[in-house]
């Protein structure tokens, strides 16, 4: 049981890193980026190629996965996304689904449709017994890395100059612009960092989530649940939502194998009925 909770926690932390970028872009630019998973996939494939084919140490590939996805995000934001901010939700949805389709089939063309097997270094494999609890080393690694990331992000947003600019821009774009905050740059940097985090999440999750070209579509619903349950007003909401979702998914699949994959939807329905504005959203 404790092992399961530990696994669920690891899974949830991973989901947080994957989707926190989406929460920020949604909160900041009010932009529905359904292609968020494509950046995660890019990071995942970057790591797989670098480790498996080029023999680079796994840990070294993680920052590269971040950079690949962040650069892709930055370029796309400046060239394409920037044209879509003022458009209707429907336009944004169509546009980003189009990007997803291109990414999915482009990756299929590049790498083939089979699932990619990531060769983790041996020191991250295996399990250890800690205080009578059987713990997977890689799961522990995930919790540590993602936990640190979550703390760094929260500090970045609450304590730094960039963070306060970001929060100002989220609250009111026009006012932020008026007091001299370079809103466009804030947008671009935030988008790039959000995409980069997704890429890092994709790299970290390549082993346990299963990496195929279909990744952006398969996990789209998870991302959407995280941001709509967690809200976009702080980093903590999505964090709690991710952990809740991770636990529900892992425990559900273990205890009720036939219905396990429906567990997340059950959570979703309950949240929608009880608190339609999101479980952790700031009460307006």
Partner 1 sequence: MTARPDPAASAATDTAAAETGRRVVRTMRRALRWSLPEILFWLVAFASIFLLPGQHLILTEIAILAVFALSIDLILGYAGIVSLGHAAMYGAGAYAAGLYAIHVTGEPLTGLVVGAAAGAVIAFATSFLLLRGGDLTRLMVTLGVAAVLFEIANKAYRITGGADGLQGIWMDPILGRFDFDLAGHTGYVYCLIVLFLLFLLARLVVNSPFGISLKAIRENPLRASAVGIPVNPRLVAIYTLAGAYAGVAGALFTHTQQFISLDALAFQKSADGLLVLIIGGTGYLYGGMIGALAYKVIQDVIANITPQYWLFWIGLLMVVFVLWGRDKPQRIFATLAARLRHRREGRE
Closest among 178, 245, 258 to 18, alpha carbons compared = 245
Binding of partner 1 at residue 224 (CB under 8 A)? yes
Binding of partner 1 at residue 146 (CB under 8 A)? no
Binding of partner 1 at residue 32 (CB under 8 A)? yes
Closest among 70, 63, 78, 281 to 185, alpha carbons compared = 78
Of 83 and 159, CB closest to partner 1: 83
Binding of partner 1 at residue 255 (CB under 8 A)? no
The Cα 126–Cα 206 span in angstroms is: 17
Work out the angle at residue 247's Cα, subtended by the Cα atoms of residues 147 and 20, and round it to the nearest 5 degrees: 45
Least distance in Å: CB of 183 to partner 1? 22
Judged by CB under 8 A, the residue of 1, 54, 86, 90 near partner 1 is 90
Judged by CB under 8 A, the residue of 9, 10, 14, 104 near partner 1 is 104
Size, binding site for partner 1 by CB under 8 A: 42
DSSP 157-192: HHHSHHHHHHHHHHH-HHHHHHTT--HHHHHHHHHH
Of 120 and 268, CB closest to partner 1: 268
Judged by CB under 8 A, the residue of 4, 49, 101, 111 near partner 1 is 101
108: three-class secondary structure by DSSP: helix
The Cα 6–Cα 71 span in angstroms is: 33
Q: What is the CA radius of gyration of the chain?
A: 19
The Cα 150–Cα 32 span in angstroms is: 22
Closest among 26, 33, 63, 31 to 47, alpha carbons compared = 63
Binding track over 184-223 against partner 1, x by CB under 8 A: ---------------------------------x--xx--
> Hey, which residues between 263 and 282 contact partner 1 (CB under 8 A)?
265, 268-269, 272-273, 276-277
Q: Which residues pair with 133 in a beta bridge?
A: 130
Report the 10 Å Cβ neighbour count for 112. Answer: 11
Binding track over 107-136 against partner 1, x by CB under 8 A: -xx---------------------------
Binding of partner 1 at residue 24 (CB under 8 A)? no
Binding of partner 1 at residue 97 (CB under 8 A)? yes
Task: Give residue for tokens 């909401």.
Answer: 237
Judged by CB under 8 A, the residue of 5, 67, 75, 93 near partner 1 is 93
Least distance in Å: CB of 229 to partner 1? 9
Helices (H), the chain: 2-29, 36-48, 58-79, 89-111, 137-159, 161-171, 173-178, 183-205, 215-218, 220-230, 236-255, 263-274
Binding of partner 1 at residue 241 (CB under 8 A)? no
Least distance in Å: CB of 233 to partner 1? 14
Q: Which residues bind partner 1 (CB under 8 A)?
A: 26, 32, 34, 80, 83-84, 87, 89-91, 93-95, 97-106, 108-109, 217, 220-221, 224-225, 227-228, 258, 261-262, 265, 268-269, 272-273, 276-277
């Amino acid at each position: 049981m404790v092992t399961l909770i530990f696994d669920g926690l690891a899974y949830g932390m991973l989901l947080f890193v994957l989707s926190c970028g989406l929460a920020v872009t949604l909160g900041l630019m009010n932009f529905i980026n359904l292609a968020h998973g494509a950046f995660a996939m890019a990071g995942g494939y970057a790591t797989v190629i670098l480790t498996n084919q080029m023999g680079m140490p796994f840990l070294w590939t993680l920052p590269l996965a971040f950079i690949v996805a962040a650069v892709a995000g930055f370029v796309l934001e400046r060239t394409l996304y920037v044209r879509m901010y003022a458009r209707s939700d429907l336009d944004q949805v169509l546009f980003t689904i189009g990007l997803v389709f291109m990414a999915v089939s482009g990756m299929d063309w590049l790498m083939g449709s089979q699932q990619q097997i990531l060769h983790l270094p041996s020191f991250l494999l295996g399990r250890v017994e800690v205080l009578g609890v059987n713990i997977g080393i890689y799961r522990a690694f995930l919790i540590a890395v993602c936990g640190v990331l979550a703390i760094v992000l929260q500090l970045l947003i609450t304590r730094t100059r960039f963070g306060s600019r970001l929060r100002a821009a989220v609250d009111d774009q026009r006012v932020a612009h008026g007091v001299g905050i370079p809103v466009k740059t804030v947008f671009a940097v935030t988008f790039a960092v959000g995409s980069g985090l997704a890429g890092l999440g994709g790299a970290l999750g390549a082993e346990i989530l299963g990496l195929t070209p279909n990744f952006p579509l398969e996990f789209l619903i998870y991302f959407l649940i995280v941001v709509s349950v967690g809200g976009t007003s702080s980093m903590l909401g999505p964090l709690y939502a991710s952990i809740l979702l991770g636990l529900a998914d892992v425990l559900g699949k273990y205890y009720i194998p036939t219905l396990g994959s429906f567990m997340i939807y059950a959570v979703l329905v309950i949240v929608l009925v009880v608190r339609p504005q999101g479980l952790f959203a700031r009460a307006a």
